[in-house]
Structure 1
Amino acid sequence: MTRPVIAYVTAPKGDLILSLLVGAVIRLSGGKPLRLREEPRSGERLFDGLILMGGLDIHPSRYDASIEIESRFDPERDGLEIGWLQHARDQDLPVLGICRGLQMLNIFYGGDLHQKLDPELTRDWPNGPLGYTLFRKPIQLTGQSFLSDVFAPYETVSVNSLHRRAVRTIAPGFHATACGERGGVQAIEADNAPLRLGVQFHPELLVYRADMRRLFRAFIKACA
């Protein structure tokens, strides 16, 4: 059987280690990876599914907001991802957004972001680089969804957390499918097919776990 082509977007320049990791995960999950470095130039179907990875913050102008907190932005990548999301929408292709990717998916379809997390949500989070990397938090799955099928029979899942921005208003046509223990959107899904899913954690960094491998396999199966 032909493997579905799964395209992915990281930073246009650099991100070599992340790119190699994601490519390996896609292969191990049954797909054929394709890294996208340039904006789409035609309407032809180039791949079967799209993954948007984590990275620098999205510029607030993309959701009609002014800068509240100084951060590192990547306008070139913002434009690249918007172009490929448009292509995926035109072609009715499944999309998986990871961390920043969830945020871009939400923005593209009309939602917006909190530029700073509620201190109440992060009061117990570590600050040091090692603690930040190893930190895990529980998220609660909400109702029947693609994500709940992947993680069944569990309704609570332990995930990492490498972000400092979050969904504020969920885009029209989407709904939350996971939330944090103290609130906050941790996953969104489109109300209707094709599958468009965003998670606020990094499953590619947890791929040693069977449940995270199931997530990638289930997504690639949906793209086949």
Structure 2
Amino acid sequence: MTRPVIGYVTAPKGDILLSVLVDAVIRLSGGKPVRVKREPDTVARRFDGLILMGGLDIHPSRYDASIEVESLFDPDRDALETSWLQHAKDHDLPVMGVCRGLQMLNVFYGGDLHQTLDPDMTRDWPNGPIGYAFFRKPITLTGESLLADSVAPHESVWVNSLHRRAVRKLAPGFHAIACGERGGVQAIQSDTAPLRLGVQFHPELLVYRRDMRRLFRTFIKQCQ
């Protein structure tokens, strides 16, 4: 059987180690990975699915808001991902968004974001790279979803979610499929096909776990 071609977006410049990891995860999950650095009209290759990875914050102008909290933004990547989400919409391609990717998926389809989280929610979050690597928090699954199928029969799962921004208003046509212990949307999925799935954590860094490998495999099967 021909492997589905999966385009994935990281930062247009840098993110070499992340790209190597995502490339390997897609291959091990049954897909053929292609890192996307240019907009769709400059890419001749056909894709069967799209994955948007983590990264810097989305500029608030993308969801008609002013800057409330100073942050690092990447307008070029915002534009690149928006063009690919439009391409995926036009061609009925399945999409998976990871961390920032979930937020871009929500913004593209008409939702918006909290630019900062309640301090009570983040009070025990680490700041350094070592703490980031080992931090886990529980999320609770809410109803049927591809994520729930991947981690079944469990109704909660420990994940590595540390992004300081989050979904505020959910995009029309989407529902929350997981929430945090202290509140907040941790995963979303489209109400209808084709699959649009977003997770606020980083499954690519948890692929030593069977449930996270199953999540990638199940998504890529949707792309065939």
Instruction: Tell me if TM exceeds 0.5.
Output: yes
Whole-angstrom CA distance in 2 between matches of 1:147 and 1:166: 18
Question: What SS does the corresponding residue of 2:133 show, helix, strand or coil?
Answer: helix
Question: Structure 2: which amino acid aligns with 1:62?
Answer: R
**Shift of residue 40, structure 1, vs aligned partner:** 1.1
Kindly provide the amino acid, as one letter, of the partner of residue 147 in structure 1. L
- 1:24 to 2:24 alignment: yes
Counterpart-to-counterpart distance in 2, 1:189 and 1:215 = 13
Q: Which residue of 1 aligns with 2:173?
A: 173
* Kept in 2: contact 1:43–1:87 (CA 8 A): no
Corresponding position of 2:189: 189
Q: Tell me the alpha carbon deviations over residues 164-202 of structure 1, each in whole angstroms, 9 at most, x when there is no partner.
A: 100000000000000001110000000000000000000
The question of whether the paired residues in 2 share the 8 Å contact of 1:63 and 1:111 is answered with: yes
Partners of 1:167 and 1:5 in 2: CA distance:
29
Pair 115,28 (structure 1): closer, same or farther in 2 beyond 3 Å: same
Q: 1:137-152 alignment to 2 at 5 Å?
A: 137-152=137-152
**Partner of 1:111 in structure 2?**
111
- 1:133: Cα distance to partner? 2.3
For the pair 1:127 / 2:127, whether they are aligned, the reply is: yes
Q: Distance in 2 between matches of 1:10 and 1:146?
A: 23
Deviation at 1:45, TM superposition (A): 7.2
- The answer to whether residue 59 in structure 2 is matched with residue 65 in structure 1 is no
Rounded Cα–Cα distance in structure 1 between residues aligned with 2:149 and 2:78: 31
Residues 150-169 of structure 1 mapped to structure 2, 5 A cutoff: 150-169=150-169
**Mapped contact 1:52–1:101 kept (Cα < 8 A):** yes
Paired residues, number? 224
Measured on the aligned residues, the alpha-carbon RMSD in Å equals: 1.3
Whether the 8 Å CA contact 1:98–1:202 is kept in 2: the answer is: yes
Q: Distance in 1 between matches of 2:69 and 2:42?
A: 37
Q: Does 1:7 align with 2:1?
A: no
Give, in whole Å, the separation in 2 of the partners of 1:116 and 1:204: 25
Tell me the percent identity: 78
Deviates more, 1:125-134 or 1:145-154: 125-134
Tell me, yes or no, if structure 1 residue 34 matches structure 2 residue 38. Answer: no
Equivalent in the alignment of 2:100: 100
Query: Cα deviation per residue 1:114-172 (whole Å; 9 max; x = unaligned)?
Result: 01011121122223332122110000000112211111100000000231100000000
Q: Equivalent residue of 1:97, what SS? A: strand
* 3-state SS in 1 of match to 2:176: strand
For the Cα contact (< 8 Å) 2:146–2:215, is it kept in 1?
Answer: no
Residues of 2 paired with 1:16 and 1:168: CA distance? Answer: 31
- TM-score calculated relative to the size of structure 1: 0.97
Separation in structure 2 between the aligned mates of residue 3 and residue 157 of structure 1, nearest angstrom: 30
Query: Does the CA-based 8 Å contact 2:10-2:55 persist in structure 1?
Result: yes
In structure 2, give the amino acid aligned to 1:108: F
Greater CA deviation, 188-197 or 37-46?
Answer: 37-46
